[in-house]
Amino acid sequence: MEVDSEVQGDAFIEFIDYARSLLWPQAEENNELNDQTEEPVPGWGWMAGRIIRTCMAYSSGVTAAILLSDLSQAWSEKKRVAASGKKPECIKPLKKQHQRTKLPNTVTIDSIYKKNFLSLSSVLETVIIDAYVLPGTNIHMLSLGDFWSSNTIDLFLHRRYYDLVSQTGILRKGREILLTGCHLRTAEEGSGCMRLLPTEYLVILLDEEQDDDAMLLGAQFCSDSFASISMDEGNRGVSYSLYARIESIGLDELIQGGTGSLKRKHITLVDNDGNKLKFLLWGDQILLANLFSTGSMIALDRPYIASSAESTLDTAEELCLEYGSATQLYLVPFIQHEEHVSVVLSQNRNQGLRLLSMLDHSQAPVVSQVTLPCDSQGSVDFTSYPFQPLVSDLRNKMMGVSLYGVVTDIHRDESSSNVVFSLRLQDISGAIWARLHFSKFWSLKRLSHGHMVFISGLTCIMKEKCLEVLWHENNTGASLVNLSIMPTIMNSSCLHRQTLLSDIFTKSCSTYICEVRIDQVDLCYIDTRYSHLHCGQFIIKKHDGLFECSFCHDSSISHLEVANSFYLRITLTDERAKVVAWCTGQTAMELLQISPDEFNNLSEDEQLMYSSSLENLAFKVALVNSRSKAHGSYDHRSTSLEEDAIQWEITCALKRD
């Protein structure tokens, strides 16, 4: 089968490229990828594997937003784990300037992960490591670290702070913020990543020594004073921006009202003119007081102006301030001078081999430099390689390689005493034989010619002047996934392109997704056979009662490893063309809407009539060209003679309404 241009235009590959350009644009903008100068970007194989993992979790289909969100979250978690023991770079310079005393209720991010718990009254003194939008949504996220932890944690930002997030906004990388009233979403409750749910109780720290912060304070908070506040103007919607010192923080009070009692706390503020006002916190707002310390300067943007009498406040001042729905708080912390000890942070940078691009100049543009880790034997680990590896790229001493291509041949290696299969994989650049090593038996279910697979964890070695590609089932990072049989691919418009039956003869593709109806039921052929549970291939029953599988080369299969399965030959049609195709297993069950055992329980006449009930049923199917034999070497291993006579295999089917 001609596969020279199969993967070109492949929707799965294109989505990986799209996600990479959207989530990690620095990988597209920079020709050099060096872990010393650039933010790390995920490897191509990691992205492909993560998308497949998500597809397996959502068999009914995924959207681009789901995939993008999961990729972003999973990569953030991977970076967090990888960074354990190493503080984010943007915290290091701030740590040198950090002189304030830790607030009484402060907890560290490391302790949250250790205890898997966070109380509402806990305080988080954090630094923004990153601010981003959750892909596919308008949800703003902050990635947070602190001065005492190696872990980071992500916060769903409350919408009242969305206006402050931008590249030039105040909530950006390196900004210190204080949080309280946080609810923790544990890993078990979400997508595998511990996160903080939105909280209204956030205070932004400012530093008067920093030019930007000093300009903000001077421009926004120095024109209004307590004496300039007017209740009438406040009622007409005039807003104030006030700057004052926290003189004292009162105790909690229980205020009786017409509908019951409510907690209240008052904080006494003094402005630069010596005027005093009370700043009131009601109910859950009292948690905000955990973020304040006596002597600190507080900047209140758009506080609610209230009447002291209506607030049942016994004070000489006519007015008081409250924390309203539009109020935002900034704090210049009071610094207590104390001994400061510098701690030298350990750096565990991976020693890497600076690798020149291994692509042939005649095949693709050259990537100038990529830094990849190298072991003591000189083998280069391609697990984090940011681009799609192709067959033509394979060289000696490569490991952790991921490939995406079409199976053109597969058989058991009879020369080995272990469970070893040889698989021929072809992509747009060429073909390669890979030796698959299994611990006990073939464990990948049914895999056949024309199926599109993703395989990771490959190792390349030179043996007798020939390149040998190896895959071991139990190696870390090893996986082999058959995408042609995954219903999620068909259910996800972002991962496939729908095709007319007439196009499958003219367009070069790996797996064709088509909307069809069953036609010519009089030509439908239904048969039930024994299949091997391990490999999904048909087997024969011997005279001694045991079964034999020509694919696995196992001649002593017990009945516990055997199941009834269909072989189905059927005519598919759409508005343009008709195609005869075959299928087995779960796909045949989906098309026939009956199990093999139920079909066998029907009388012979009922079985003959059964096909008529299928007339005009609508399905969405995945079709592959099963005549992808290499060198004509597979005839003696063919699953069935019928398959050799029919070009198209239905690898997946979903009934349509």
Give the Å distances, CA to CA, from 579 to 140, 294, 500, 519, 569: 49, 80, 11, 9, 11
* The amino acid at 610: Y
Q: Would the CA dihedral through 590, 595, 601, 604 be positive or negative?
A: positive
pLDDT of residue 584: 95
Please give the pLDDT value at position 192.
63
Between CA 157 and CA 200 the distance in angstroms is 9
Q: Which of 463, 349, 470 is nearest to 401 (CA)?
A: 470
Locate 471 and state its tokens. Answer: 């895959």
CB 9 within 8 A of CB 509: yes
Q: Tell me the Cα Rg of the chain.
A: 33
Same fold: 263-333 with 498-655: yes
Per residue in 322-335, pLDDT tens?
A: 999 999 999 998 87
Q: Residue 533, by phi and psi: left (phi above 0), alpha (psi -120 to 50) or beta?
A: alpha
Tokens 């090593």 correspond to 437
pTM: 0.65
Structure tokens at 18: 């799209």
How confident is the model at residue 611, as a pLDDT? 84
634 CB neighbour count, 10 Å cutoff? 20
CATH superfamily of 263-333: Nucleic acid-binding proteins (2.40.50.140)
Q: Phi and psi dihedrals of 79, rounded to 5?
A: -65, -40
pLDDT in tens, 196-241: 999 999 999 999 888 999 999 999 998 899 999 998 888 888 999 9
What is the pLDDT at residue 633?
A: 38
User: What is the CA angle 275-278-283, rounded to 5?
Assistant: 165
- CA angle (401, 9, 364) in 5-degree steps: 55
| DSSP string over 273-306 | TS-EEEEEEEGGGGGGGGG--TT-EEEEESPEEE
Indicate the fold that domain 101-205 takes in CATH.
OB fold (Dihydrolipoamide Acetyltransferase, E2P) (2.40.50)
Mean pLDDT by 10 residues, the chain (657 residues): 49 93 75 50 93 92 93 85 62 65 89 91 94 90 90 93 87 93 80 86 92 91 92 89 94 82 93 94 95 93 90 82 94 62 26 30 47 77 89 92 95 89 94 94 91 96 92 91 94 92 83 93 88 91 84 86 93 92 94 94 89 90 78 40 74 92
Strands 512-519 and 618-625: antiparallel
Q: How far apart are CA 223 and CA 242, in angstroms?
A: 8
Instruction: Tell me which CATH homologous superfamily contains domain 498-655.
Output: Nucleic acid-binding proteins (2.40.50.140)
Residue 147: C-alpha distances to residues 95, 111, 126, 151, 289 (Å) = 6, 13, 7, 10, 22
How far is CA 77 from its chain centroid? 9
User: In 3D, which of 615, 570, 564 has the Cα closest to residue 586?
Assistant: 564
d(C-alpha 252, C-alpha 282), whole Å: 10
For residue 7, the model assigns a pLDDT of 40
pLDDT at 96 (0 to 100): 58
Strand partners, 599: none
Q: Which CATH number fits domain 11-75+368-484: 3.40.630.40, 2.60.120.1600, 1.10.3720.10, 2.40.50.140?
A: 2.40.50.140
Q: Which tokens in the block code for residue 549?
A: 């599988």
pLDDT for the residue numbered 652? 96
The two structure tokens encoding residue 278: 């009370």
Per the CB < 8 A criterion, the answer to whether 293 and 123 are in contact is no
Q: Where are the domains of the chain?
A: 11-75+368-484, 101-205, 263-333, 498-655
The residues, ordered by sequence, that sit 6+ positions from 123 with a Cβ below 8 Å of its Cβ are 103, 104, 105, 106, 107, 178, 179, 180, 290, 291
Token pair for residue 498? 């729908």
Exposure string over 94-133, b if 16+ CB within 10 A, otherwise e = bbeebebeebeebbbbeebbeeeebeeebbbbbbbbbbee
Query: How many helices (DSSP H) and strands (DSSP E) are in the chain?
Result: 13, 34
Q: Which tokens sit at 226?
A: 């307590």
Q: How far is CA 138 from CA 65, 158, 159, 243, in A?
A: 11, 12, 10, 32
Give the pLDDT score at 50: 95
